[in-house]
Chain A
Amino acid sequence: MDMNGGQALIRALEMEGTEVMFGLPGGAILPVYDPVLDSTIRHILVRHEQGAGHMAEGYAHATGRPGVAMVTSGPGATNIVTPLADAFMDSIPMVVITGQVARPAIGTDAFQECDITGITQAVTKHNFLVTEADEITLAIRQAFHLATTGRPGPVLVDIPKDIVDPTNPASATGWEWPTDDEVARSLPGYRPATSGDPEAIERAADLILAAERPILYVGGGILKARAAEALRELAELTQIRVVTTLMARGAFPDGHDLCLGMPGMHGNYTAVTSMQRSDLLIALGARFDDRVTGKVPSFAPEAKIIHADIDAAELGKVRRPDVPIHGDCRLIIEDLVAALRRRLASGAETPDRRPWNSQISGWQERYPLAYEPPVEGDQLKPQMVLEHLRDSVPEDTILASGVGQHQMWASQYWRFNHPYTWVNSGGLGTMGFSVPAAIGAKVGRPDRMVWAVDGDGCFQMTAQELVTASAERIPVKVAILNNAYLGMVRQWQEMFYEERYSEVYLSPDLPDYVRWAEAMGCVGIRVESPEEIQPAIDKANDIDDRPVVVEFRTDSREKVFPMVPAGKSNDEIQVPPFQAGHGVQTGEGGN
C-alpha cells in the first residue's frame, strides 16, 4: 500500500495502540497533522508543549500505558524537554514525536531548527533522528518497545519534514509493519532483564527468614512492574512492615496494618526511623535516592541490603547490596514468595520479631503525623484542607500533585489504597506538573475522579492548560493551596537562612485565581474560612461537565514536618515543635 511518511507515522501510532495523543502543531510537523484528521486517535490540542509532555506523563502514570505527545521542531521541541527529563527521572513510559526541518536544511541553522536529539540525549532512554520515510514504522516500533520494556522511560523520535511531506517525493513509502523479532534484532544492544537469578533469590529468602528487624523498602518500580499484588502477598506472608517511597504511594495500601507510609526527608517518623534501625532492608524497585537515605554513610547503618531492580546500574550505585537481584520486580517477588513458602513448609522459623514490632508501634503512637490545630482567626491549615478533601472523595480518586510543600502534605495526609492513584513529579521535582498531569490522568481514566493538588507558585506555571481541559471537556478538579509564597523555599529560608525571605513572596490576590479560573472556562471557588471548606469541596465534586478550581487561602507559616535537613543523617529527623515537647526532638540513638 502506497502512502506518505506522515500517514505511515500516524498509522504506526494506531498500530501501537495509541488512543490519545497530546500535542500542538507547527511548521515542521504540519504534514503529520494532516492524517491526524482521519485517524482514530484522539488528539488533545494543548496550549503549551510542556503541557503536552506532562499530560502524556499523567496518562502513563494513571494507565500504565505509554503516553504519546507530538510537537513541532525548534521551540516546540525544546518546550517538551522538561517533561522528558521528568519522565526520565521517574521512569515513565512516553513516546514524543518532534518535527524537524527538512533533511537538506539540517545543520544550516534553519528557521525553527534545533538539534533536539543532541539536546535530549541525557534526558531520554533513547532517541532517534529518522532519515528515511521507509524507516518511520521501525522507529516507532522501536520507540514503544524501548519506552515500555526494561526500566521504562521516555523515547523521542525526530522526523524531518521532507520525509513526511506528501508534496516531496522523499515522503513516498510503502506500508511495512516490522515483526517483534525484527524489532528485537534491530536493537542488538538492548536486552531487558526478566526474572532474577534463582541463587540470589534463595540467598535473599535466607536473609529474610533470619532477620530480626526487617523492613520492606518499596519504590516506584513496584508500580512499573505491576507488582502491587505480589508485594502484598510477600508482606502478608512474612508479616514484614512496608515503607512506600514518594514514587510508590499506593503500591501498598496505606490502610493495611503492615503499612508504615512514606520514608525520607519529609517521611513520617516511624517510616524513617524503622529503616534507620532495621537489620535488613528489602529494597524492591527503589533507588536509594538522597531524599530517602539522608546522609548516606549513616543511613540504616546496621542493615543488610537485599536490592532488586530492573536496572543493573542501580544495584550498588548508592549502597552496596548484600544480595543484588537484577530483574523484573514482579517476577522476583513471586519467586521470592515461592522460595519462602518452601522454607516455611519444611519447618523454617524466624526469630521472634515481637520486640521489633512493638518498637515500631511505639514510634507510631508517640510520633504520629500531626499538625497544630488552628486557633480562631488563623488562616486555613493546608493539612486540614487535604484531610477534608481526602474524606470527601471516592477511595480510588486519582490525586495529582505539583512540587513543594503541598506535594509533601498530600503524600503524607492522603490515604492511598490503590495503585496508580498518585501522580507526581518525584525525581526531577517539576513545579507546574500537576494541572497538565491531572488532565492526562483524567483522559486516561475518565471513569475516575481526578483532583490536582497544587501550590499557588506551581499553578502559575502551567494553569493555561485548564483552557485545554475546558475546550476538551476534561473535568479535572484543582485545589490550590494558596499561601502566597513559594512555600518550600520559604520554609528553607525560615529554617536555614535565618528567616531572610529572598524572592519567595507571590501575593495571595495577584492573580485573582477565581476570575482566572472563570476566564479559562472553569468554575472558580474561593475558600477563606474553615466552615467554607466542606461546602466548596462538595460543590466541586458535584460538577462533572467542566474543570473546577478551588482556591484555599492557607497559612504561609505552616511548615512540613517531620523533616530531615538536607545532607543530615536520618537520625536527626525533626518532628513538629509541639511533638518535640514530649522530650525527644531527634531520633533515638539506639534500639
Chain B
Amino acid sequence: MSRRDMQPGEAVRHHVLSVLVENRSGVLSRVANLFARRGYNIVSLAVAPTEDEAFSRITVVVDVESAPLEQIVKQLDKLINVVEISELDPRWSVERELLLATVAATPDVRGRVVELVQIFEGRILAVTHEELTVSLEGHPTKVDDFEEMLRPFGIRELQRTGRVALPRLGARPGEPSAATA
C-alpha cells in the first residue's frame, strides 16, 4: 500500500460518505435528486451492489462548501431507501479509484509513457502505432498524479470511476493507533 493512502491534510472541503441503500430501481436518482434540489455539490459518485444483493453501496464525495455536512447527512437519512450513512475519514479508510486513458504515444515518446505506467504500477491495455490505452487503480491522489504526468503527452480520452472506499480494518476515528495498512 502506497504512502498515498494516508493524506491527513487532503482537501478538507471534500468529505467521503458511504451510503448503504436498498438495491431498487430509482434509488440512485433519489439520492442524486436530493443533492440537486438542495443545492449540494457532488464531486464524484460510485455505486454498485454489496455482498448482500438486497443492498447497494454508494460512495459519494461531497463538496461541503455547498452545505454543512451534517445537513447533507440528515437529509440523505430521510430518504426511505437509505439504510445507513457513514462518513469515511480519509485517514481511517482505504480509498481506491480506477482510471482509463488513451494517450498519444507515437514511437518517439512511447518509451517514456510506458516507463511512466510502470512507475505508477499501471497497465497497458491496448496499443496502436499512435496511441496507448492505459489503466491505473490506486488511491485517488495517486490517480491524480498519474493523470497529471500523462497530460503532456496528450490525453485523447479519459474516464475515471470516482472513488470507492471502505473503513480501514481495525481503525476507528479517534483511535489513530489502530491504523495499520
Contact = CB atoms under 8 A, between A and B. Distances in A.
A187 interface: yes
Interface residues of A, number: 18
Nearest to B33: A121
Contacts of B79: 189
B83 interface: yes
Interface stretch (B9-17, B69-77, B97-105): B69-77
Interface in B71-90: 71, 74-75, 77-84
A313 B74 CA distance: 5
B129 interface: no
Contact of A316 (B71, B81, B82): B71
B22 A188 contact: yes
Interface string A304-329: 00000001110111000000000000
B71 A313 contact: yes
B37 interface: yes
A148 to B, nearest CB: 14
A190 B80 contact: yes
B29 A312 contact: no
A439 to B, nearest CB: 31
Given A188-B22, A189-B22, A146 B71 contact: no
A315 B22 CA distance: 26
A118 B80 contact: no
Interface string A113-131: 0000110011001100100
B74 A312 contact: yes
Nearest to B26: A117
A189 B29 contact: no
A3 to B, nearest CB: 26
B62 interface: no
A122 B33 contact: yes
A125 B75 CA distance: 12
B21 interface: yes
Interface string B14-58: 000000011000100110010001000000000000000000000
A187 B79 CA distance: 11
Contact of A313 (B22, B75, B80): B75
A316 B68 CA distance: 10
Contacts of B37: 122
B82 A317 contact: no
Nearest to A150: B78
B77 A312 contact: yes
Given A316-B70, A317-B71, A187 B78 contact: no
Contacts of A313: 71, 74-75, 77-78
Contacts of B21: 189
Given A118-B29, A189-B22, A146 B80 contact: yes
Contacts of A118: 26, 29
Contact of B78 (A129, A311, A315, A316): A311
Given A117-B26, A118-B29, A189-B21, A125 B80 contact: yes
B88 to A, nearest CB: 19
Nearest to B20: A189
Contacts of A187: 80
Contacts of A190: 80
Nearest to A124: B80
Contacts of A121: 29-30, 33
Interface in A282-317: 311-313, 315-317
A367 B97 CA distance: 65
Contact of A189 (B26, B33, B74, B81): B81
Nearest to A123: B37
A311 B74 CA distance: 9
Interface string A213-224: 000000000000
Given A189-B21, A316-B70, 15 more contacts: A121-B29, A122-B33, A125-B80, A129-B26, A146-B80, A187-B80, A188-B22, A189-B22, A189-B80, A189-B82, A190-B80, A312-B74, A312-B77, A313-B71, A316-B71
A-B CB proximity, top 5 nearest: A313-B74, A189-B83, A126-B80, A189-B82, A188-B83
Interface of A: 117-118, 121-122, 125-126, 129, 146, 187-190, 311-313, 315-317
20 contacts: A118-B29, A121-B29, A121-B30, A121-B33, A122-B33, A122-B37, A126-B80, A146-B80, A188-B83, A189-B81, A189-B82, A189-B84, A190-B80, A311-B78, A312-B77, A313-B71, A313-B75, A313-B77, A313-B78, A317-B71
